[in-house]
């Protein structure tokens, strides 16, 4: 019996959710959260998860963005059942390839008197908006083109006049939405604008395309950000105009900065790619995103994707915004890093060392790197830190002589201390140059320091080896660097003090 059938007793529901990003830039981390919620819900019910690319805003499309979407979803382990790259029964799954389909439905709207041509220029619309704002009115189209006669419309079309197509919003109607997350919400149509459905370039707007596509692709649950909630009554009207059954709705809360403002690039990393480049693991990221706006109601915090699918519930998604707590993400990432095998962690870290220039492409000592990774594994919060924390293992450290000074020591005292370390290290054979022997020998010398202050010996030595105020113990560093390099660095430090 399959995993899903095991949990749901073979129950089959025709659940179809979709993720429909626009290729206008990097994939937002909030969009990945939306994809995750939609994916988990569909898989929980043995349904299908569809990927659709909504590229009707041609002016803003970014080259390579579609491939980035594929890559980000693959990295996160969110696999779609239908989509542009794998096909499916309801394609094409890229909106720019569906223009003829949309034309059929815009024509129907005009025929049924639910849509009309608008010939107003951008300048006219802007002036209209300014006047309404001055009068403290809700800015919306004043319907001047709705009153054009059929002959006037035909004449303008015949002359090649630029036009858009607007939907006709009925007056004085209350439209109710039963949202799975937010409950019942009401909108009065008097507050709605006659939305443009077809732009002057022949491309549909989001509002038309999303309704047509969701219906034709048999989407059962429209799961998306709360930013689209105010558009939903317009979408419900379009379903009504076309005589279609409406899907179920679930609008997810926004992801917020720590100051409760909307998460934006101005205040930190927002793209999935940002987090991949910093070395956050997909396992940790998915675990973290699942809890942004949802909670199982238990104390459990660590979840695999399989466990998330089992326990997730749209009904338990919160209404209020979810604060993006980077400290919590770091904690989760650190947890997964600690649990990873040394071989797997080393494999994932190597690309970061290559990108930092510390090792060559396919040119490195794997056993040496494993030692470094083993040392840093308990301390790492993200993979990219390996370069920040371990640079001294790959190149000579740069530091000022003042950093070698411990407390009230003078340069001559530091020089004497380093000479003691140099003499002690020189006496240890290469075969015995391991942490245990190093620690025994050096601590014995440190006990002889003034006031038995071990820092007088160990601090200058550690800085000489690493060039850092904070680093692993000198014994661990010495063992990995080896005798020859260690002695050379101590000698360099002594010269700095002369």
Q: Which residues contact 497 (CB under 8 A, 6 or more apart)?
A: 401, 404, 411, 412, 414, 415, 418
Q: What is the pLDDT of residue 267?
A: 62
Q: Which of 359, 385, 411 is the last residue of a domain?
A: 385
Q: Are residues 163 and 234 in the same domain?
A: yes
Tokens representing 363 are 């040119």
**Predicted TM-score of the model (pTM):** 0.91
Q: How far is CA 27 from the centre of its chain?
A: 7
In the residue annotation, 265 being an active-site residue is answered as yes
Question: Is 27 within the bounds of a domain?
Answer: no
The alpha carbon torsion through 390, 394, 400, 403 (nearest 10 deg) reads: 40
Question: Is 29 within the bounds of a domain?
Answer: no
Q: Are residues 109 and 247 in the same domain?
A: yes
Q: Are residues 433 and 365 in the same domain?
A: no
Assign residue 467 a region (left: φ > 0; alpha: ψ between -120 and 50; beta: otherwise). left
pLDDT averaged over consecutive 10-residue blocks of the chain (498 residues)? 42 84 95 98 97 92 95 98 98 97 97 98 96 93 96 96 97 96 96 96 96 98 96 98 98 93 77 96 98 93 96 95 96 98 97 93 93 96 93 96 96 97 96 96 93 94 96 96 98 96
Question: Is 461 within the bounds of a domain?
Answer: yes
Q: Are residues 192 and 314 in the same domain?
A: no
Q: Are residues 226 and 283 in the same domain?
A: no
Whole-number Cα distances in Å, 386 to 232, 309, 326: 47, 33, 19
**Domain range spanning residue 362?**
272-385
- Read off the CATH number of the domain in which 318 is found: 1.10.1160.10
- Read off the CATH number of the domain in which 190 is found: 3.90.800.10
Q: Which of 331, 352, 385 is the last residue of a domain?
A: 385
Q: Are residues 131 and 187 in the same domain?
A: yes
Q: Which of 385, 411, 426 is the last residue of a domain?
A: 385
Q: Are residues 241 and 309 in the same domain?
A: no
Question: Is 372 within the bounds of a domain?
Answer: yes
Q: What is the pLDDT of residue 210?
A: 98
Question: Is 447 within the bounds of a domain?
Answer: yes
Q: Are residues 233 and 207 in the same domain?
A: yes
Q: Are residues 231 and 314 in the same domain?
A: no
Q: How far apart are CA 248 and CA 177, in angstroms?
A: 9
Q: Are residues 318 and 416 in the same domain?
A: no
Catalytic-labelled residue, pool 265, 267, 339, 436: 265
Instruction: Name the domain count of the chain.
Output: 3
Nearest to 224 by CA among 190, 261, 195, 250: 250
CB of 367 closer than 8 Å to CB of 374:
no
Question: Is 204 within the bounds of a domain?
Answer: yes
Helix (H) or strand (E) holding 187: strand 183-188
Question: Is 81 within the bounds of a domain?
Answer: no
Q: What is the pLDDT of residue 271?
A: 95
Question: Is 297 within the bounds of a domain?
Answer: yes
- Opening angle at CA 180, ends 54 and 262, nearest 5: 60
Q: How far is CA 126 from the centre of its chain?
A: 36
The alpha carbon torsion through 473, 477, 482, 483 (nearest 10 deg) reads: -40
Q: Are residues 309 and 344 in the same domain?
A: yes
Q: How far apart are CA 49 and CA 16, in angstroms?
A: 6
Q: Are residues 236 and 291 in the same domain?
A: no
The CA R_g of the chain, rounded to the nearest whole Å, is: 32
- Read off the CATH number of the domain in which 460 is found: 1.10.10.350
Q: What is the pLDDT of residue 11?
A: 47
């Amino acid at each position: 019996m399959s995993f899903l059938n095991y949990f749901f007793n073979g129950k089959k529901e025709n659940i179809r959710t979709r993720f429909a990003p626009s290729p206008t830039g990097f994939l937002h981390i909030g969009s990945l959260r939306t994809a995750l919620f939609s994916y988990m819900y569909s898989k929980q019910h043995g349904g299908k998860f569809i990927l659709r690319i909504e590229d009707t805003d041609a002016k803003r499309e970014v080259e390579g963005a579609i491939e980035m979407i594929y890559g980000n979803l693959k990295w996160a382990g969110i696999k779609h059942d239908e989509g542009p790259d794998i096909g499916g029964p309801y394609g094409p799954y890229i909106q720019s390839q569906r223009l003829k389909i949309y034309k059929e439905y815009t024509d129907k709207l005009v025929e049924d008197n639910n849509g009309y041509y608008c010939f107003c220029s951008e300048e006219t619309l802007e002036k209209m908006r300014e006047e309404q704002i001055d009068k403290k009115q809700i800015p919306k189209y004043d319907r001047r083109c709705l009153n054009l006669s059929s002959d006037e419309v035909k004449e303008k079309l015949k002359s090649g006049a630029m036009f858009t197509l607007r939907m006709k919003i009925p007056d004085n109607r209350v439209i109710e939405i039963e949202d799975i997350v937010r409950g019942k919400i009401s909108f009065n149509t008097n507050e709605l604008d006659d939305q443009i459905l077809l732009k002057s370039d022949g491309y549909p707007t989001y509002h038309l395309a999303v309704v047509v596509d969701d219906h034709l692709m048999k989407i059962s649950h429209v799961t998306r950000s709360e930013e689209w909630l105010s558009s939903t009554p317009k979408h419900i009207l379009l379903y009504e105009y076309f005589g279609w059954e409406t899907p179920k709705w679930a609008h997810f809360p926004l992801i917020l900065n720590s100051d409760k403002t909307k998460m934006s690039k101005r205040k930190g990393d927002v793209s999935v790619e940002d987090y991949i480049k910093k070395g956050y693991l997909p396992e940790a990221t998915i675990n973290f995103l699942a809890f942004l706006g949802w909670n199982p109601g238990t104390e459990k915090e660590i979840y695999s994707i399989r466990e998330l699918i089992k326990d997730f519930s749209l009904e338990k998604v919160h209404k209020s915004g979810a604060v993006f707590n980077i400290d919590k993400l770091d904690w989760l990432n650190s947890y997964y890093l600690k649990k990873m095998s040394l071989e797997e962690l080393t494999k994932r870290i190597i690309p970061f060392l290559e990108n930092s220039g510390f090792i060559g492409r396919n040119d490195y000592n794997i056993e040496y790197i494993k030692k470094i990774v083993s040392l840093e594994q308990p301390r790492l919060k993200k993979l990219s830190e390996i370069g920040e924390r371990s640079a001294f293992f790959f190149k000579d450290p740069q530091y000022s002589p003042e950093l070698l000074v411990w407390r009230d020591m003078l340069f001559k005292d530091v020089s004497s201390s380093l000479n003691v370390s140099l003499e002690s290290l020189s006496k240890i054979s290469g075969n015995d140059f391991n942490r245990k022997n190093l620690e025994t020998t050096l601590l014995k010398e440190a006990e002889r320091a003034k006031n038995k202050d071990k820092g007088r010996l160990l601090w200058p030595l550690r800085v000489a080896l690493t060039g850092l105020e904070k680093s692993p113990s000198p014994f661990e560093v010495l063992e990995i660097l080896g005798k020859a390099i260690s002695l050379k660095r101590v000698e360099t430090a002594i010269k700095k003090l002369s």
